[in-house]
A and B are shown apart, each in its own frame.
Chain A
Amino acid sequence: MIIQSISARNVLKYKSLELNDLPEQGIIAISGFNESGKSTIGESICFALFGRTFSIDEDELDKILRWGASDCSVTIRFSHQSADASEPELYAITRMLDCDGNHSAKLYKVYNEENAIARCVERVEEALYKLTSVEFDEFIESFYLAQREITTPYPHSYALKTMAGIATMEYCEQNIQEDIEQDIVVSEELINRINLLEEEIEAIQLDEQHLDKLTAQHDQLLADKKQIDENLSELNSSIEQYNTDQPQKVAYQYKKGRAGFWRFISLILAAGFLGLWVILVKMPGSDLFNKVNELLQTNVPQFTAEQYPFLLYAGSGFALLFIIFWAMIVSHKGNIGRLDEAGKTLAEKLRALDSECAAESDENKDMLLRRIEKSSLDTKALSEALQADLDYLTQEQEKLAEQISELSSELAIERDRVEKVRDLLEKVDILQAQVDDKAERNRIRELASELLMGATHHLSKRFNHVIRDHVSKTLPLFTDNRYEHLQIDEDLTVRVFSNEKHDFMELDEISSGTQRQIMLAVRLALSQEMVSRKVHNQQFLILDEPFAFFDEERTERSLAVLPELSDNLPQIWIIAQTFPEGMNFKRTIYCEREQVEKTA
């Protein structure tokens, strides 16, 4: 951006300021005594471009208005070559302000004013930035060096960081630090919640073994009860079987007795008839025959020899009956033996129970069991004899049921406690996982932050080298060859190499005049770097009283070298009370205190 003309009305000191046909190259010298309006020219340019000046902020713009004026305006024309244009174009920016705070602006191409590039303050600011890549802060840091500002540049200024290419990195690093802090806060909250949960777990006082013990006890009681249930059931079943079988056995015993009796009778009769038949038929003439025959003739005279075969038939019949009764006895024995099983089983069950009968001694118990075993105890007697056992078992069963019920309640409570602790532990695990995750994320962020700081340091160092190289071209001229090299630290602390002392010196070790000379060199270096890094175009430069502490000879030398500083800084405005005599500038503007209308 090269200024072509300035036209201002009621801006600061001037009622009217008209500077036309300004040279595009070389030095424009503005001189005059204090309060003569020299700096107003630079501030008018600044106000036109950015709507504020170095010394007047946006919220006190009314100070821009000339004393007593109700409104002001300023128009500057400037040339600027866009990246896609073959040659520079002429632009103008007009800004107006009144005492009521109404502020307006317009950016346009000089030969096409009707179709403005942008209107209104905000849009003009955006459009100007888009056009020139320079913002207010960068402008006053790099291209508008007011006298009081020619000191060490503020190392943390945004413009400077932008030039060094570290502003984004620092912002990013700051953002990561915010994320870290945020996660630390969240982690602390999570840890507090974990602590509260752990206190809650502690308060429950859970004995990890207790549930297992209770469960084992419960299982044992259930097993005991099941055993008693089974025993009782089997006992009742056996008693029932006994009560069914015992009367049958008695009946079979009775039948067996009767069958035995008739078998005996049959045997006797069979033997008698068959013996008689043998004597009468097979032994005729024998003494025994004679005696039997005589006995028969005497008692049964009608029984004759023709009826002897009936003796055989009768004997055979009784023999057959004997066999039948014998078979019946065998059968009854079998049934009795089968029915005896119920008694044996019952006796076995009673022995297996191994329980004591409260009413009877061991001896009586054994006798009782033997009687049961033989099924010789009738059902009524059995019922009376076993009542005590059955009562005992029933009581045991009820006792166990009660214990199981109590233990089940205790177990349910303990399970709830265990479940609660488990839930709390799960929550602790989840929260702990979140804490661990955040710790891991923060570890990565710390590394990212470290890398960003490393990159920032790397770029700062490189930037400082570039600035140092720029400075080395101007510093010998400004300091009469006494100082040539600078050492610029990361925080832009400057140390200078003294050719006389052959060592680096701190700035406060040298005179304030020389400090100013060194700082002017640094500032100019920053201007050069700003142009080459960002603007990529020709740019004007305003230096407000840069040589206040220079002697005349050094001022002359500096003025001679400034136009050669950089091809991209061709138009240099220099404001000073006086300039050395005989200097030839491209334009000289002399300001006077009483002059309120200025045309040049």
Chain B
Amino acid sequence: MSAGEHPKPLNITERRTTIEEYPRFCEEEKERRMNSDDEFEEQAFDAAVELTLRKLEKLEEEGWV
């Protein structure tokens, strides 16, 4: 995983915040999309959330502290 424009490691506090906040946001977003008139593809949505969470967990495993 390239550090790119983020030469510095992330700190624990923010990571925790992100890992807590992201699924919460996604749950609300899913509910919103499911109840909207737009076409909603639940499987793709869940896969996207899962993909992101895996990446966030990987960041944690890489010890970006």
Instruction: Report which A residues bind B (CB closer than 8 A).
Output: 129, 133, 135, 137, 158, 162, 165-169, 171-172, 174-176, 178, 443-445, 447-448, 450-452, 454-455, 458-459, 533-534
A165 to B59, CA, bound (A): 15
- A162/B14 in contact, CB under 8 A: yes
Partner of B4, one of A129, A178, A445, A533: A178
A444 to B49, CA, bound (A): 9
- A451/B6 in contact, CB under 8 A: no
A171 to B14, CA, bound (A): 12
23 A–B contacts, CB within 8 A, in A order = A133-B11, A135-B11, A158-B6, A162-B10, A162-B11, A165-B14, A165-B18, A167-B6, A168-B59, A171-B10, A172-B55, A172-B59, A174-B4, A175-B4, A176-B51, A445-B51, A447-B45, A447-B47, A451-B49, A451-B52, A455-B22, A455-B26, A533-B13
- A447/B48 in contact, CB under 8 A: yes
Interface residues of A, dominant DSSP:
helix
- A171/B52 in contact, CB under 8 A: no
Beyond A167-B6, A175-B55, A445-B48, 9 additional contacts (C-beta under 8 Å) are A133-B13, A158-B6, A162-B14, A168-B56, A172-B56, A174-B6, A448-B52, A454-B29, A534-B11
A166 to B56, CA, bound (A): 12
Q: Size of chain B's interface in residues, with CB distance under 8 A?
A: 28
- B4/A455 in contact, CB under 8 A: no
Partner of A174, one of B5, B14, B49: B5
Please indicate which of the listed interface residues A135, A175, A444, A450 has the most CB atoms of chain B within 10 Å of its own CB.
A444
Residue of A nearest to B7 (CB): A158
> Tally of A-B residue pairs with Cβ under 8 A?
85
- B25/A455 in contact, CB under 8 A: yes
CB distance from B35 to the nearest CB of A (A): 16
A367 to B64, CA, bound (A): 110
- B59/A459 in contact, CB under 8 A: no
Q: Does B17 contact A (CB under 8 A)?
A: yes
Partner of B14, one of A167, A443, A451: A167
- B52/A172 in contact, CB under 8 A: yes
- B48/A444 in contact, CB under 8 A: yes
Residue of B nearest to A126 (CB): B65
Question: Contacts of B48 on A, CB cut-off 8 Å?
Answer: 444-445, 447-448, 450-451
A167 to B13, CA, bound (A): 11
Q: Does B2 contact A (CB under 8 A)?
A: yes
Question: Contacts of B5 on A, CB cut-off 8 Å?
Answer: 174
Q: Given A451-B26, A451-B49, does the pair A135, B8 have CB atoms closer than 8 Å?
A: yes
- B52/A176 in contact, CB under 8 A: yes
Question: Contacts of B52 on A, CB cut-off 8 Å?
Answer: 172, 176, 448, 451-452
Question: Contacts of B11 on A, CB cut-off 8 Å?
Answer: 129, 133, 135, 162, 534
A455 to B4, CA, bound (A): 21
Q: Does B31 contact A (CB under 8 A)?
A: no
Question: Contacts of A533 on B, CB cut-off 8 Å?
Answer: 13
Question: Contacts of A458 on B, CB cut-off 8 Å?
Answer: 25
Question: Contacts of A459 on B, CB cut-off 8 Å?
Answer: 21, 25
CB distance from A123 to the nearest CB of B (A): 15
Interface residues of B in 29-65 (CB under 8 A from A): 29, 44-45, 47-49, 51-52, 55-56, 59
Question: Contacts of A168 on B, CB cut-off 8 Å?
Answer: 10, 14-15, 18, 56, 59
A129 to B4, CA, bound (A): 22
CB distance from A134 to the nearest CB of B (A): 9
Question: Contacts of A129 on B, CB cut-off 8 Å?
Answer: 11
- A169/B18 in contact, CB under 8 A: yes
Partner of B25, one of A158, A162, A454: A454
A592 to B52, CA, bound (A): 57
A168 to B8, CA, bound (A): 11
Residue of B nearest to A136 (CB): B8
- B17/A444 in contact, CB under 8 A: no
- B47/A137 in contact, CB under 8 A: no
Question: Contacts of B1 on A, CB cut-off 8 Å?
Answer: 175
